[in-house]
Amino acid sequence: MTLTRLTAALVAAALLVSSPAASATAIRLLFIGNSFTFAYGSPVRYYRADTVTDLNGEGTGGVPALFASFARQAGLDYDVSLETSPGKGLDFHLAEKAGVIGSRGWDKVVMHGYSTLDAVKPRDPAKLIATSARMAALLREKNPKVEIYLMATWSRADQVYPAAGAWAGTAIGVMARDVRAAYDKAAAEAAATAVLPVGEAWIRAIDAGIADANPYDGIDAGKVDLWTYDHYHGSTYGYYLEALVIFGGITGRDPRSLGAAECSGFELGLSRAQVTALQQVAFDQLAVAGTIKAAPSASTATPARCNAGG
């Protein structure tokens, strides 16, 4: 083991010792990703960071903290950790963070690569496919039964509308479909459990009139902007939808069962109508694959737990 990997493993071990308390039966869930996981450009980035374990010690909550909140409200026992680095693909995590990632056996892992599939060769899925398989092999060294979920990311408005974008001249949904196709190939190569259709959920929200399709020409009245100010990363709405899709895809629970008064949406300033609409989009997208069933609606009353802290 190299000195760098040894140091990383020791840091990871120290973080795990001091991690948020989890029961012995808790499902160990790891998120591996970049800014699309740690929620760059939105208040979600540091949201409830004390409820998850950031293996890099950067105080990040992000989408993993949203998932942890949803799971807690649903009465599910998850011990959530994350390992993220901005602007990176899985090749970086394999080269620099293998010691951290391999510091324990995980029950479930959510991971994704760079948003254009390859930072150097946009639209080329080869690196994603190869590195997904290599990461899966690393994860299975500790737990052969680990469930691996690949997250298909969203269309970047900055890659579609400006002339210099890698998907310039196409409709906003084309990038999401191309990315999903690449993740399907990567999932097959890695023998992954499933692909989480986050990018397709974004397009569904746009097609349903909930989200605006083009932030460069302003946001239509009554619609949300899923992108943040750079038209690249997600907004609070975008990351909230991402977390709902991941929650439903991993747990099999209907996201709508969290209810209009879902705690994190309330704390992050989403209206009940927005929470309900995004939960419906997440359910509809997951239902396409037949992996989720409708559940009774939750109460619309603001739950006391929203005021209870971490």
pLDDT of residue 21: 59
Summarised one tens digit per residue, pLDDT across range 170-228 is: 999 999 999 999 999 999 999 999 999 999 999 999 999 999 999 999 999 999 999 99
What top-level class would CATH report for the domain 3-16+27-307?
Answer: alpha beta
Low-confidence winner among 80-89, 127-136, 284-293 (lowest mean pLDDT):
284-293
Summarised one tens digit per residue, pLDDT across range 230-272 is: 999 999 999 999 999 999 999 999 999 999 999 999 999 999 9
Beta-carbon contacts of 300 under 8 Å, excluding residues fewer than 6 positions away, are 259, 260, 261, 272
11 pLDDT band, cuts 50/70/90, is: very low
276 pLDDT band, cuts 50/70/90, is: very high
pLDDT of residue 7: 46
Between 252 and 22, name the one with better pLDDT.
252
Q: Where are the alpha helices (DSSP H) in the chain?
A: 3-17, 35-38, 62-73, 90-96, 98-101, 126-142, 157-160, 172-190, 198-207, 236-251, 263-267, 272-288
pLDDT of residue 119: 97
The CA distance from 148 to 168, in Å, is: 32
pLDDT of residue 22: 66
Query: Mean pLDDT across the stretch 117-126?
Result: 98
Beta-carbon contacts of 21 under 8 Å, excluding residues fewer than 6 positions away, are none
pLDDT of residue 294: 84
First to last CA, the chain: 37
Beta-carbon contacts of 74 under 8 Å, excluding residues fewer than 6 positions away, are 251, 253, 257, 258
Q: What type of residue is 270? A: L
Between 20 and 24, name the one with better pLDDT.
24
| Averaged confidence pLDDT in the chain | 92
pLDDT of residue 20: 59
Nearest residue to 227 via CA among 151, 160, 128, 286: 160
Beta-carbon contacts of 17 under 8 Å, excluding residues fewer than 6 positions away, are none
Phi and psi based region of residue 125 (left: phi greater than 0; alpha: psi -120 to 50; beta: remaining) = alpha
Between 307 and 310, name the one with better pLDDT.
307
Please tell me what DSSP assigns to residue 79. E
pLDDT of residue 249: 98
Between 181 and 292, name the one with better pLDDT.
181
Query: Mean pLDDT across the stretch 68-90?
Result: 98
Token pair recorded at residue 102: 């391999």
Summarised one tens digit per residue, pLDDT across range 162-177 is: 999 999 999 999 999 9
Please report, for the chain, the start and end positions of each structural domain, with discontinuous segments joined by +. 3-16+27-307
